[in-house]
Every structure is written in structure tokens, then in C-alpha cells.
Amino acid sequence: MTPALFGKIAAVYTAKSLKTESEKLMKQISSDLPNPLILEVESLDGRTKLAKTLKAKAQCYQFDLIPNWDCKALTAEALRRSRLLGLALTADCLDYLIEAVGNNIGRMQQELELLATYSPTLTLETLQVLIPELPPYIYTITAENPYPSMDTPP
């Protein structure tokens, strides 16, 4: 991989591709690129070649996902991130943000960056326009009619 001149490098490996592409990933890890590699896995088996390469060549950190039901921790995380971006969000705004994004910290960060670009102080009404909340029935619809997998032919 060649680092981009003014951009970030993103290498995305799915659980399925890790099984078939682990040799490529190990080469990238061994090449000492100065970019972070993020793996979202349930657990990493320390007996595999990939885990051994990661432990030998990289600094590994484990972060646990904040549970959806832990509103206090999610609110604290949203508040911490919003302050880093210079946002002053009310308790109502924080509650709405948590309701809209749940424990998806990546989406939370994106939405907070969007809000910081818009204005440092926001009302709940503005927040509701900028961050649409998915209606609860959308999960029922997608569970009943899932999209076909990209890996399987139609």
C-alpha cells in the first residue's frame, strides 16, 4: 500500500475476508506503515498467525463497546466528544443524540462533527433536523425483508 499524499488510508477487512486475506493483512502489518489498523472482532484468537503478527509488530489496544442500555456512559461519551469539538449541547440534545445513534460511536463522532460545523450552540429542533432518527418500525421491516447478501448471486 502506498500512503496517500494528503489523505488517510483505509483498509477494510470483513470477518469473511480475514479468513481468505489474512496473508495480505500480515504483510501490511509487517511493512511498518504509520497508519492505525482497526479490527472489530468479538475476540482475537492468540494462537493464529494473524494474532501473533499483530502482537509482534503492532501496539494493540482493546476497547469494549458501550452497551446500548448504559445511557449514563453513552451520555458521558457524547458529552466528552462534544466538548472536544467545542459544542455546548443541552441535556435534551444529548438525549436525542443518544436515541438517534445508540452505541454506534463512529456515527456519534460523525454527527457531532457535523453539528460542530453547523454551529457551536444548537437547539433540540435544529438537532432533530440535522440528525434524523430512524423510526422503530424500520428494524421490523428490515428483519422481515432483509436485503440479499452481496456475496450470494441473485
- Examine residue 111 and state whether it is found in any structural domain, yes or no: yes
**Residue 101's CATH number:** 1.10.8.60
- Examine residue 77 and state whether it is found in any structural domain, yes or no: yes
- Examine residue 5 and state whether it is found in any structural domain, yes or no: no
- Examine residue 3 and state whether it is found in any structural domain, yes or no: no
- Examine residue 44 and state whether it is found in any structural domain, yes or no: yes
- Examine residue 125 and state whether it is found in any structural domain, yes or no: yes
**Which domain covers residue 98, as residue numbers?**
71-138
- Examine residue 22 and state whether it is found in any structural domain, yes or no: yes
Q: What's the structural domain count of the chain?
A: 2
**Contact indicator for 37, 29 with CB cutoff of 8 Å:** yes
Q: Which three cell numbers stand for residue 16?
A: 469473511
**Contact indicator for 28, 1 with CB cutoff of 8 Å:** yes
Query: Does residue 82 share a domain with residue 49?
Result: no
Please provide the average confidence, as pLDDT, over all residues in the chain.
77
Query: Does residue 83 share a domain with residue 38?
Result: no
Which one is predicted more confidently, 1 or 83? Answer: 83
Long-range contacts of 64-71 (CB under 8 A, 24+ apart): 65/103, 65/105, 66/103, 66/105, 67/103, 68/102, 68/103, 70/103, 71/98
Window from 2-6, 65-69, 112-116, 141-145 with minimum mean pLDDT: 2-6
- Examine residue 4 and state whether it is found in any structural domain, yes or no: no
Query: Does residue 125 share a domain with residue 82?
Result: yes
Q: pLDDT tens digit string along 42-56?
A: 777 788 888 888 888
3-class secondary structure per residue, 102-138: CCCHHHHHHHHHHHHHHCCECCHHHHHHHCCCCCCHH
Q: pLDDT tens digit string along 90-113?
A: 999 999 999 888 888 888 999 999
Task: For residues 97 and 128, give the distance between their C-alpha atoms in angstroms, rounded to a whole number.
Answer: 9
Which residues in 56-91 are b (16+ Cβ under 10 Å) and which e? Answer: eeeeeeeeeebeeeeeeebeebbeebbeeeebebee
Long-range contacts of 104-111 (CB under 8 A, 24+ apart): 105/65, 105/66, 105/77, 108/77, 108/78, 108/81, 109/81
Query: Does residue 76 share a domain with residue 131?
Result: yes
Rounded to two decimals, the pTM is 0.59
Report the Cα 14 to chain-centroid distance in Å. 14
Query: Does residue 130 share a domain with residue 78?
Result: yes
